[in-house]
A and B are shown apart, each in its own frame.
Chain A
Amino acid sequence: MPASAQGPQAVEALYARLLGKGTVSYAPAIDRDAARTRIAADGLPVARAEAWKYSNVGKWYQAALEPVQAPGVRETCVPGGVDLHRFDDPAAAPLLTKHLGTAIDLARHPLAAVNRILLGSGVVVRVPAGCRIDEPVNVDDIGAAYEHILLIVEPGAELALVETPIAATHRVVECIVAEGARLTHRRVQPRGQAPQCGLIAAKVEQQAHYSLWLAARGTELRRNDIHIALAGRGAETHLHGAWRLGEREHLDNQVTVDHLAPDCLSRQTFRGVVGGRARAVLNGRIHIAAGAQASDASLTTKSLLESTDAEVYAKPELEIYANDVRCSHGATVGALDEAMLFYCESRGIDRDAARGLLLRGFLREAIVGEEAIGVLAAGFSGADGSLGATLAGDVASAGGEVQ
């Protein structure tokens, strides 16, 4: 492998690494060959591909070859009643055989195939049927550049997951939410340096419920693929995202909600504040399959631009093959409202504090509820704290430009 592979060389080197056997010593009961076959057949995404038009995948390939050294395992707080196994634990094998990859279409998510081939660490979390877990499971770093968290929430069970993929070059979070189960997923993404991509894939069965709360800063290149399949009748998903970017931060959220069964409901609410020379992308696709009658889907995304050099790309997509559906989408991009600022100032609130107050109000349209705000805000600290401060209500430090 070249020490500093660039452009086509990086891609060649990555292919060689992916398709050569035996490069990874980690040996859980997973099938890497299916992923190799997929990469061999379809190839890696190219920079000019439509799905990659906003994020230069070439940068990620360079990082993928020389991943950041992940710190040791820091998974924490596993409440009683939850089974947690590392992938290479023999107890994990039957769960992996049965569930791993069942929520992921590798043809649509080629980087998840890369993840599978290079996988260095994984944990499987299982909540037994009917078991309601009040304490959240926390998963931060699990010790590798390529990680897979597999959650299995069995019928009627309930779980909350809090995860912070700090050092992962690529993390897959795969959620199997069985009939009547509920999963609340909170993701905190502090600011980072290295390019980072990842996939959140959820398969939500009949009458089950999956909700995502995402609070994110950017990195040089950060992409979140989020793919929710409403697979059983009456399944429901609520996706909430808030981000605040500055300088040259980059955050690309590619969201797909598949309505595959009748009577399903999906709600997507995203709010972003983008300053400096940062770039934020929200591509939100709602796909209603033939036969998914009485689907109810909506997506709203609003962005505030804090500088003339900031970029926001907001692209809702609807693809509907059923004839009895309710679907709506809305996207706006604007600046902070001068009338609102004047109103605050006329009450003696200085301009920076007023901006903090207004930004918080704006982001809280997506992140509602004290619990969600508390969990997400706590994930940001120090110089990285402006998003946390904005969410939590520390208006004194929230108003300034993101550093």
Chain B
Amino acid sequence: MPLLDIEDLHVQVEDQVILGGVHLTVAPGEVHAVMGPNGSGKSTLANVVAGRPGYEVLRGTVRLAGEDITHASPEERALLGLFLAFQYPIEIPGVSNMEFLKAAIDSHALARGEGAPSAAAFIRRARATAERLGLDAGFLKRGVNEGFSGGEKKRNEILQMLLLEPRIAILDETDSGLDVDAMQVVAAGVNDFRDNGNAVVLVTHYQRLLDYIVPDHVHVLAGGNIIRSGDRSLAQTLDRDGYGWIEDAC
């Protein structure tokens, strides 16, 4: 059974149709890259799958491990194992990263019918994971994304992903604003995360992230539809030729 199954998805934002019948099937163990020019609907796809308010699904379905989540709340989707790494992570002043993560992890534990982990166990794990991403211990005490650099925000998204262990992670332009060093750290985190039971969808404008996280499938989204799918070489073609040929083809 696919982990993520998007079928004929039509989405409108403020009276404008952004997605016009997207199909995408992601099996366990796979990494998919969704690429496309600016304004092609990439972020809309990522956000609508995560249940962000403001997106109206006109037609189609989204299934997570067989369960229809087209109209589920963002929280239900998260608890079923969906994770969205935000393109622009949100700042929450006054709430520490630690308490935010603990609240999220406790919710997941509760949803699985388990007890919340002890504070000590949680802190140990959070610190070790942060360290793997090159984030010092003080990072966990700071307000969520408050005053973080662009790179820190993106690493924080990966930290959350590693701690929440989703079944499917959608990374929305996680590479944007990262220098090469930070991108390698982020990529190492994603590669550590990958296993045969989960899957990753990388939404990106550039192919450079794909040098570090090798996708099994590459899709080109343009004009609200996936107009071409292929293997890794498609990304390299895009990198070489740009998106101009697609716009001509549309």
Contact = CB atoms under 8 A, between A and B. Distances in A.
Given A339-B90, A340-B90, A348 B95 contact: no
A340 B89 CA distance: 9
A363 B100 CA distance: 16
A35 B236 CA distance: 87
Contacts of B75: 345-346, 348-351
Interface in B84-128: 84, 86, 89-90, 92-95, 99-100, 103-104, 107-108, 111
A347 B104 CA distance: 6
Contact of B100 (A342, A347, A351): A347
Interface string B189-205: 00000000000000000
Main secondary structure of the interface of A (DSSP, over half): helix
Contacts of B207: none
A387 to B, nearest CB: 15
Interface string A364-403: 1100000000000000000000000000010100000000
A104 to B, nearest CB: 35
Given A345-B73, A347-B78, A348-B78, A395 B103 contact: yes
Contacts of B28: none
B111 A348 contact: yes
A392 to B, nearest CB: 12
Contacts of A349: 75, 103-104, 107
B95 A357 contact: yes
Interface of B: 50-53, 73-75, 77-79, 83-84, 86, 89-90, 92-95, 99-100, 103-104, 107-108, 111, 143, 160, 164
Interface in A207-247: none
Interface of A: 337-340, 342-351, 353, 357-358, 360-365, 393, 395
B108 A348 contact: yes
A357 B111 contact: no
A359 to B, nearest CB: 9
B136 to A, nearest CB: 21
29 contacts: A339-B90, A340-B90, A342-B74, A342-B90, A343-B89, A343-B90, A343-B92, A344-B92, A344-B100, A345-B75, A346-B50, A346-B51, A346-B77, A346-B84, A346-B86, A347-B100, A348-B79, A349-B75, A349-B103, A350-B75, A353-B103, A353-B107, A357-B92, A358-B92, A358-B95, A361-B92, A361-B94, A364-B95, A365-B93
Contacts of B99: 357, 393
Contacts of A360: 94-95
B74 A340 contact: no
B78 A345 contact: yes
A395 B96 CA distance: 13
Contact of A365 (B52, B94, B164): B94
Given A338-B53, A342-B53, A345-B73, A361 B90 contact: no
A152 to B, nearest CB: 36
A32 to B, nearest CB: 46
A361 B103 contact: no
Nearest to A363: B94
Given A345-B73, A393-B99, A361 B107 contact: no
Contacts of A343: 86, 89-90, 92
B164 A348 contact: yes
Contacts of B89: 343
B246 to A, nearest CB: 30
Contacts of A338: 53
A360 B99 CA distance: 11
Given A353-B103, A393-B99, A345 B92 contact: no
Contacts of A393: 99
A361 B51 CA distance: 24
B130 to A, nearest CB: 16
A337 B111 CA distance: 26
B160 A347 contact: yes
A350 to B, nearest CB: 5
Nearest to B111: A348
Contacts of B111: 348
